Amino acid sequence: MTLSERIDYDLKEAMKAREAARLGALRMLKSAFKYAAIEKSGADAVVDDETAMSVIRKQIKQREDAAEGFEKGGRPEQAAAERAEIVFFSAYLPAALSPEELSTLVKEAIAEVGASLGTPAGLGKAQMGAVMKAAQAKAAGRADGRSLSAEVQKQLP
């Protein structure tokens, strides 16, 4: 079952259970999938799982930003609604990497790229782009860019 099919199924289940909040979130997600499919290949296109996960991550990021804005604006009930949608969306993403797994992944990426750890100060940082690219490919969406970047910076001189 593809991710898109799973969301369709969960959408029907939310309708049957009359879960308004979940239903609204899944409808927004389905709409975002349709926009991504149209942008990618035209009106009759279907999103693949990789694109779907990318759309879900983007939607989560939007909800995080909105929740932060609502908190600053003194609207905690709206922030709570946004955070509830984040929980709904997060269920469709693979499990996040633990700090130990992230550290190991970055070490492997550094070795793969051949970034030199024993270089004079600053030269390791110049190789950060190549290491980040390799690390993101290895992480396959199980780690966000911010935590990956922090770990790479920590491990490169």
Question: Mean pLDDT, to the nearest integer, of 58-67?
Answer: 93
Domain, as residue range, for 123? 99-155
- Asked if 75 and 24 sit in the same domain, the reply is yes
Residue 12's pLDDT band, with cuts at 50, 70 and 90, is very high
Which of 90, 114, 147 is the C-terminal boundary of a domain?
90
In this structure, of 22-36, 71-85, 106-120, 142-156, the range with the lowest mean pLDDT score is: 106-120
What total number of domains does the chain contain? 2
- Asked if 38 and 71 sit in the same domain, the reply is yes
On whether the CB atoms of residues 3 and 49 are closer than 8 A, the answer is yes
- Asked if 103 and 42 sit in the same domain, the reply is no
Q: At CA 8, angle to CA 6 and CA 12, rounded to 5?
A: 115
Which pLDDT tens digit goes with each residue over 100-147? 888 888 888 888 877 655 544 444 566 788 888 888 888 877 877 788
For residues 120 and 86, the model is more confident at: 86
List the CATH number of the domain containing 58: 1.10.1510.10
List the CATH number of the domain containing 131: 1.10.10
In whole angstroms, what is the distance from residue 112 CA to residue 37 CA?
Answer: 34
pLDDT of residue 157: 67
**The two structure tokens encoding residue 2:** 């593809």
- Asked if 104 and 70 sit in the same domain, the reply is no
pLDDT of residue 149: 85
On whether the CB atoms of residues 67 and 79 are closer than 8 A, the answer is yes
For residues 124 and 28, the model is more confident at: 28
pLDDT of residue 65: 94
- Asked if 83 and 7 sit in the same domain, the reply is yes
pLDDT of residue 120: 47
Q: Which amino acid is at 38?
A: I
Mean pLDDT across the chain: 85
- Asked if 47 and 20 sit in the same domain, the reply is yes
- Asked if 83 and 133 sit in the same domain, the reply is no
On whether the CB atoms of residues 2 and 49 are closer than 8 A, the answer is yes
On whether the CB atoms of residues 70 and 76 are closer than 8 A, the answer is yes
- Asked if 103 and 82 sit in the same domain, the reply is no
- Asked if 86 and 103 sit in the same domain, the reply is no
pLDDT of residue 112: 82
- Asked if 128 and 71 sit in the same domain, the reply is no
pLDDT of residue 121: 47
pTM of structure: 0.72
Residues in Cβ contact with 23 at an 8 Å cutoff, skipping those fewer than 6 apart: 11, 14, 15
The b-or-e profile of 98-109 (16+ CB within 10 A means b, else e) is: eeeebeebbeeb
Which of 67, 90, 113 is the C-terminal boundary of a domain?
90
For residues 72 and 139, the model is more confident at: 72
- Asked if 132 and 111 sit in the same domain, the reply is yes
- Asked if 124 and 73 sit in the same domain, the reply is no
